Amino acid sequence: MEVNSKKEKLKSFLINETLILTLLSIVMGLLVGALIITLSGYNPLEAYRLMLEGIFSQPRYIAWTVIRATPLILTGLSVAFAFRTGLFNIGAEGQFIIGALTAALLGYFLELPAILHVPIVLCGSILAAATWGGIVGFLKSKFGIHEVIASIMLNWIALYFMNYIINQPGFKRPGTEASFDIHESARISIPWMREVLGPATKVNWGIVIALVITAVIYYLLFKTTIGYELRAVGYNKDAAEYGGINVNRSIMLSMAIAGALAGAAGAMHVMGVSFRVSVLAAMEGYGFNGIAVALIGNNNPFGVILSAFLFGGLTYGGSKMQTIGVPTEVINIVIGSIIFFVATYRIFRYVLVLFNRKKLQKEVQ
């Protein structure tokens, strides 16, 4: 009994500590950003004020932050889910592309009433991306190919495959480097909110769908047998196998779910924001940013939501700093620093220990 309560105490202590350390990392990241802004001759307070105003001062700005955060919730969740099951999904980028491409194809070539069209496009895209993610799981469990290397290859294959499909006559809008727009019936915009916030603001139902999906994933991961098995494999593969869990099946399932999540992000981006897919010369970064979101969110579904909003806010609001001449890229430095401090949380402990030691010394004196 005592052991149990001790364990629980330890658990709640750790969770709180994680939260505190993450917040500390965010503060430190912003400080590094401030330092760089100062060194390059600007006023950091002014810059950060502009950033905060750029997020909160108008309903339309808040809407844009939410729109920015929506795909990151899902790609972040995709990476976090895979991490929880012992896999590093660096392939969210490619899965996002496959989801977006499928959504653009189904949204343009199918003609259905909205009530059918939206779910069919969403499910089709999720299925395609789940297959794409599943390939990585298959290659790992069947051939022992490291998921990182397979994912990197599949990211590029996905990118060139999408470019190839976009270039097919009948799908490519002549005179552009993009596909035709999807039909109205496949879009998830919220027209009345667009009237309120201005026509350029692409408010859509994506955020609601993303939050529902996050809740489902939380339930799946922490409240079901399948989730337990997946996490067991992530925690200790050999022990899980010894305990009768089919490790190969778990790896494939886990990568398929991770793919589905990133694919949903891509689909909703097309259905709610871009309405088309464009030829890409380089990766757009939704998947890679998802890795950052997952790490800052401590691979926890709810942490991922918060961290996606932080990320969305920083990148959207951060672009406003340009008005006084601060290059937007300082935001990447801030985000990188936050991740760096999340990784080296021991720095804080080290400082704390030093601090305590000094305090003790003072008390002794």
Using CB under 8 A, which residues numbered 79 to 98 contact another protein? Answer: 88, 90
Q: Which stretch binds another protein (CB under 8 A): 146-154, 189-197, 216-224, 256-264?
A: 146-154
> Binding to another protein by residue 282, rule CB under 8 A?
yes
Q: Residue 304 in contact with residue 294, Cβ under 8 Å? A: yes
Residue of 152, 178, 193, 247 that binds another protein (CB under 8 A): 152
Q: Which amino acid belongs to residue 79?
A: V
> Binding to another protein by residue 283, rule CB under 8 A?
yes
Q: Residue 351 in contact with residue 38, Cβ under 8 Å? A: no
- R_g (Cα) of the chain, nearest Å: 22
Q: Which stretch binds another protein (CB under 8 A): 64-72, 159-167, 171-179, 214-222?
A: 159-167
Question: Tokens for 280?
Answer: 């890409």
> Binding to another protein by residue 333, rule CB under 8 A?
yes
C-beta of 63: minimal distance to another protein in Å? 26
62/51 Cα distance (integer angstroms): 12
DSSP letter assigned to residue 186: G
Kindly write down the DSSP assignment for every residue of 227-289, as one continuous string.
HHHHHHHHH-HHHHHHTT--HHHHHHHHHHHHHHHHHHHHHHHIIIIISS-B--SS--SHHHH
Which stretches of 91-146 are DSSP H helices? Answer: 92-109, 114-143
C-beta of 48: minimal distance to another protein in Å? 16
Q: Which stretch binds another protein (CB under 8 A): 193-201, 218-226, 289-297, 300-308?
A: 289-297
End-to-end CA distance of the chain: 42
93/269 Cα distance (integer angstroms): 13
> Binding to another protein by residue 352, rule CB under 8 A?
no
> Binding to another protein by residue 73, rule CB under 8 A?
no
> Binding to another protein by residue 347, rule CB under 8 A?
yes
Residue of 155, 189, 204, 214 that binds another protein (CB under 8 A): 155
Residue with tokens 């999340």: 342
Decide whether 102 or 204 has the Cβ nearer to another protein.
102
Question: Tokens for 340?
Answer: 């760096």
Residue of 82, 98, 265, 292 that binds another protein (CB under 8 A): 292
Residue of 143, 199, 362, 364 that binds another protein (CB under 8 A): 143
**Residues near another protein (CB under 8 A):** 36, 40, 88, 90, 139, 143-146, 148-150, 152-157, 160-161, 163-164, 167, 281-283, 288, 291-292, 295, 327, 329-333, 335-337, 339-340, 342-347, 350
